[in-house]
């Protein structure tokens, strides 16, 4: 089957099975193009919670499909590549959280949404890159706070809030390749460009980057909105490279230049068009968070959603 035939069959099966396809901005362009909704982890979680579909085909990595299962327990959540994992989510276990908590009695644990359901179940609050500052600002200022699992996002939030959260040592192996020196070098090389920087990037919390007038640090959805509203015609993109597919689609007259040539997430690329089709045909691979774990993991997510 060629890609047009595969796409046609996917559309047919979606209708027959009352399914929707959710895809992350980091998936392959052809997978993004077949999706009903394209988004970052926060946006996709919201859609997962609102859809009436019976089946959700989640084109992303495992922890994201778990989040969809936590939010929508009555839906059948499928991930096309059963082994699509994440270096950041794999950096910590629930046991690690409890050990760290025991070393810091009375501390609150804030968990970035890029974590397994098991880790979320051991946290007090969840946050996303879009609402992290708001969540942390809502916590009592004098209270010790432990942030898991991303050290770069945690350091960025500390800078913006003036807090001194203790940071777990996890990182995203893709964004870790973007240090401040590279961001500053590229900003100098392209004097008219604005830099769109994900806070998971290694250089996001450097004072020179934070103070730079052409540095815009935000979640992926925030970057896409910024590229549309900014008067700039040229952008340096400091995140996973496939994001450029959507940036170009939404802004055909603007130029997007990767800050680093190899910031590709190999785990996200495991989701191919053929595997999306197989997921729909065979209703595989189901991701179902068990009820007891789901109830515990839902608490920090609900607390996050309640913070206005």
- Tell me the closest approach of the beta carbon of residue 240 to ligand SF4, in angstroms: 5
Contact present, 208 and 196 (Cβ < 8 Å): no
Stretch that binds ligand SF4, among 29-37, 169-177, 283-291, 296-304 (CB under 6 A): 169-177
With 0-12 CB in 10 A as exposed, 13-18 as middle and 19+ as buried, what is 255? Answer: middle
DSSP-H helix ranges across 90-189: 94-103, 117-120, 132-137, 151-161, 180-189
- Tell me the closest approach of the beta carbon of residue 148 to ligand SF4, in angstroms: 13
Question: Pick from 150, 179, 180, 145: which is nearest to 163 by CA?
Answer: 145
> What 8-state DSSP symbol labels residue 268?
G
Which residues inside 19-58 make contact with ligand SF4, applying CB under 6 A? Answer: 26
Q: Is residue 267 a contact point for ligand SF4 (CB under 6 A)?
A: yes
- Tell me the closest approach of the beta carbon of residue 152 to ligand SF4, in angstroms: 11
Mask 207-246, x = binds ligand SF4 (CB under 6 A)? ---------------------------------x------
Question: Pick from 140, 170, 145, 175: which is nearest to 157 by CA?
Answer: 145
- Tell me the closest approach of the beta carbon of residue 188 to ligand SF4, in angstroms: 26
Q: Is residue 156 a contact point for ligand SF4 (CB under 6 A)?
A: no
Token look-up 């935000």 returns 218
Q: How many residues of this chain bind ligand SF4 (CB under 6 A)? A: 13
Contact present, 88 and 170 (Cβ < 8 Å): yes
Q: Is residue 61 a contact point for ligand SF4 (CB under 6 A)?
A: yes
Q: Is residue 201 a contact point for ligand SF4 (CB under 6 A)?
A: no
CA distances from 198 to 79, 209, 224 (A): 25, 12, 11
d(CA 255, CA 257): 7
Q: Is residue 114 a contact point for ligand SF4 (CB under 6 A)?
A: yes
Q: Is residue 195 a contact point for ligand SF4 (CB under 6 A)?
A: no
Q: How many CB atoms lie within 10 A of CB 13?
A: 18
- Tell me the closest approach of the beta carbon of residue 150 to ligand SF4, in angstroms: 8
Q: Among 86, 121, 136, 221, which residue sits at the site for ligand SF4 (rule: CB under 6 A)?
A: 86
d(CA 95, CA 83): 22
Stretch that binds ligand SF4, among 27-35, 51-59, 82-90, 132-140 (CB under 6 A): 82-90
- Tell me the closest approach of the beta carbon of residue 266 to ligand SF4, in angstroms: 8
Q: Is residue 265 a contact point for ligand SF4 (CB under 6 A)?
A: yes
- Where is 227: in which H helix or E strand? helix 220-229
Nearer to ligand SF4, 198 or 212 (CB): 198
Please give the residue ranges that form the binding site for ligand SF4 (CB under 6 A).
26, 61, 86-88, 114, 172-174, 240, 265, 267-268
């Amino acid at each position: 089957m060629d890609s047009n035939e595969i796409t046609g069959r996917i559309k047919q099966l979606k209708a027959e099975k009352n399914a929707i396809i959710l895809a992350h901005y980091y998936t392959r362009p052809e997978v993004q193009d077949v999706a009903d909704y394209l988004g970052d982890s926060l946006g996709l979680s919201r859609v997962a919670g609102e859809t009436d579909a019976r089946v959700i085909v989640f084109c992303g990595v495992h922890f994201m499909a778990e989040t969809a299962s936590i939010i929508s327990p009555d839906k059948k959540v499928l991930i096309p590549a059963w082994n699509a994992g994440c270096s950041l989510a794999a950096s910590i276990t629930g046991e690690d959280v409890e050990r760290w908590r025991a070393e810091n009695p009375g501390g609150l644990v804030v968990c970035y949404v890029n974590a397994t359901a098991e880790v979320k179940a051991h946290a007090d609050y969840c946050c996303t890159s879009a609402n992290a500052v708001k969540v942390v600002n809502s916590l009592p200022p004098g209270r010790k706070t432990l942030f898991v699992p991303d050290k770069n996002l945690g350091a960025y939030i500390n800078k913006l809030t003036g807090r001194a959260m203790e940071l777990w040592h996890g990182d995203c192996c893709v964004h870790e390749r973007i240090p401040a020196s590279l961001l500053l070098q590229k900003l100098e090389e392209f004097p008219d460009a604005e830099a769109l920087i994900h806070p998971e990037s290694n250089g996001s919390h450097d004072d020179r980057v934070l103070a730079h007038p052409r540095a815009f640090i935000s979640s992926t959805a925030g970057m896409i909105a910024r590229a549309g509203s900014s008067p700039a015609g040229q952008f340096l993109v400091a995140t996973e490279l496939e994001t450029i597919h959507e940036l170009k689609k939404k802004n055909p007259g603007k130029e997007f230049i990767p800050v680093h040539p190899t910031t590709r997430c190999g785990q996200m690329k495991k989701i191919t068009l053929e595997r999306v089709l197989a997921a729909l045909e065979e209703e595989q691979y189901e991701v179902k968070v068990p009820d007891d774990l789901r109830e515990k993991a839902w608490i920090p997510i609900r607390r996050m959603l309640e913070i206005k």
